[in-house]
Structure 1
Amino acid sequence: MNTDAFRAPISMSDAGAKAALLDGLPRDVGRLAEVVQGVLIHEHIAPAYGVTLSAEQHKQAHVRGVEKMLDCITRQDSRPLPQARPPAARVVGVCRHFTLLHVAMLRRQGMAARARCGFGAYFEKGKFVDHWVTEYWNERAQRWLLVDAQLDQRQRELFGIAFDPLDVPRDQFVVAGDAWRLCRSGKADPGAFGILDMHGLWFIAGNVVRDVAALNNREMLPWDVWGAMAQTDSELDLPFIDRLAEFSHAPDRHFGDLRAIYKDKRVAVPSTVFNAVLNRPDPVH
């Protein structure tokens, strides 16, 4: 089991000059998730907290790296991170930001953790919605557990969450490669996977690429587009996505394969990606 590769902050999860802010935090997976929930607010769930976001606040959702996230957080409120901010004073992000900050905190403490891109079955009945969660190595259980660091008490009530967010069942969060395999084998409907008006194999394939990139420590925005991602099913290289899905289904067994495939320009994150929300090329810093 190659857990050591996921114990150190790397690239997006590296807090850089802001790393000291992550020292002295609770040494507990659940309490760290609570710290994350106290400094971030989900861009699309803000109204549930009575918050109407400004145009400037919406821009925060396009921040990629943890160092810049922490800079935004402390510029808005200089108090220590464990002191929860009022919802309107929290930095705006989406599931990927909650996940990446949680991963960064865990890695700062030497715990093996990684961000996983896939689909949550608990936001909309009968749908698997585009989502990210933390996957960390639980020494006591000797297995990887999924944690949804976004699900605070308000959201657990809002979405009727009946499971433990610190041990999300694998049928409630489906890793992108597993979603691809289910749909390719005819065991699931591709039309049930996606978000808003975007569903289907092409969307699942995009998340497979994002998940493989994340397993190589490049946790990109959910709307960053590059390489093998396509806009229609007909554009997909099915055998290639099949390989990526196989590797990401069992990332520890295929650790070497994941590192090797990341050298392929269809997977490797380039210096500039296409930001599909802002509808423009975006440099990756």
Structure 2
Amino acid sequence: MDWTRQTRFSDPGRHHDRLGELPCDVPAINAAVRNLTVHYRASGIDFPPDRLAEIDTRWVSRMLDLDQERFAGVPLDAPRPEAERLVGCCRDVALLAVSALRAHSVPARTRVGFAGYLMPDYHADHVIAEYHDGSRWIGTDPDVGVEVVELTPAGLQTAAQTWRAMRRGEIDPSAYGAGPGQEIGGPWMIQHYLMLELAHRMGDELLLWDIFGQGIPFADREWSELPAELPEDLTHLDEIADLLLAADAGDEAAERKLEVRYTEDPRLHPGPAVRCVSPRGAHYDVALT
């Protein structure tokens, strides 16, 4: 896959030149995209419903449209008041950084998993950016200002790494999720994030609450109503995790197999639509066009 090319999600559309005006420097791009967004929950700001709806903005082009509606003609790296920024989450910051890097022809992609550096003794669900410096992939977290994060258990544990460790009984899945004491987490979330990692790897940088393919059962019910155990037949997900890890290790054949599996197996890809189960309380179908 050509990681310098924009996807339908990362494409900035009419804002391409504005992204190109940012310095081709990872710390500077991180600072700029962090200045464009505010976290819907971690900020502590009580956003009204119309502003909270911004968390469901999938497309970088629309994110930048919203920014320009408020800050017409203002450079992307000029300071913005926190409460007036795009309401989003780590996925949005990472995707904006990836879009900016691709606008500079730098190979870049999002990585989905669980961060071990945000909360003590807990792996919080997280998305970071990753770019290629000509010799290797380097993880960078624009959301919290950590410039380089290695993809290890101490940094970002990818969903595939987490899945394999869970299946081998090496981790406590209750220590993985939205945060200590929150019901959103555990085995079902690890399964969902494995599917999200695959989708993002294939250029479908979906929202973290987009349900697709095999998906999570009872998508329109509370998380606490999910079955206590995962389904028994998960061989296909074990295979996907193994392929993701092999591809990360540089196995080009594994990368090609992932593309074939993603294209041909309806359990693994979003198809023409997803079910958005937004944390703002809205559940609805979205056509990915």
Under a length normalisation based on structure 1, what TM-score does the superposition of the two structures give?
A: 0.88
- Counterpart of 2:138? 145
Residue type of the alignment partner of 1:224: D
The CA RMSD over aligned residues, in Å, is 1.6
Residue type of the alignment partner of 2:64: L
Q: Is the 8 A contact 2:101 2:107 kept in 1?
A: yes
> Percent of aligned positions with the same letter in both sequences?
27
- Counterpart of 2:5? 8
C-alpha distance in 1 between matches for 2:96 and 2:207: 13
C-alpha distance in 2 between matches for 1:86 and 1:246: 44
C-alpha distance in 2 between matches for 1:147 and 1:247: 23
- Counterpart of 1:74? 68
Structure 1 residue 148, shift from structure 2 partner: 0.8
- Counterpart of 1:223? 209
Do the aligned partners of residues 169 and 269 (structure 1) sit closer, same or farther apart at CA in structure 2, a change above 3 Å counting? closer
C-alpha distance in 2 between matches for 1:105 and 1:265: 31
1:256 matched to 2:256: yes
- Counterpart of 1:158? none
2:126 to 131, 137, 161: 131
Do the aligned partners of residues 117 and 237 (structure 1) sit closer, same or farther apart at CA in structure 2, a change above 3 Å counting? farther
Q: Is the 8 A contact 2:149 2:156 kept in 1?
A: no
C-alpha distance in 1 between matches for 2:88 and 2:232: 30
1:170 matched to 2:170: no
C-alpha distance in 1 between matches for 2:105 and 2:88: 25
C-alpha distance in 2 between matches for 1:33 and 1:25: 10
Q: Is the 8 A contact 1:148 1:168 kept in 2?
A: no
- Counterpart of 1:161? none
Structure 1, gaps ≥5 residues long: 153-163
2:89 to 83, 94, 113: 94
C-alpha distance in 2 between matches for 1:110 and 1:75: 27
C-alpha distance in 1 between matches for 2:183 and 2:118: 15
Residue type of the alignment partner of 1:147: T
- Counterpart of 1:31? 28
- Counterpart of 2:239? 243
- Counterpart of 1:269? 270
Residue type of the alignment partner of 1:54: P
C-alpha distance in 2 between matches for 1:136 and 1:170: 16
C-alpha distance in 2 between matches for 1:204 and 1:8: 29
| Secondary structure of residue in 1 paired with 2:230 | helix
C-alpha distance in 2 between matches for 1:168 and 1:93: 24
- Counterpart of 2:220? none
C-alpha distance in 1 between matches for 2:122 and 2:205: 24
Residue type of the alignment partner of 2:271: P
| Secondary structure of residue in 2 paired with 1:199 | coil
- Counterpart of 2:171? 188
Under a length normalisation based on structure 2, what TM-score does the superposition of the two structures give?
A: 0.87
Over 6 Å off, 4+ runs: none
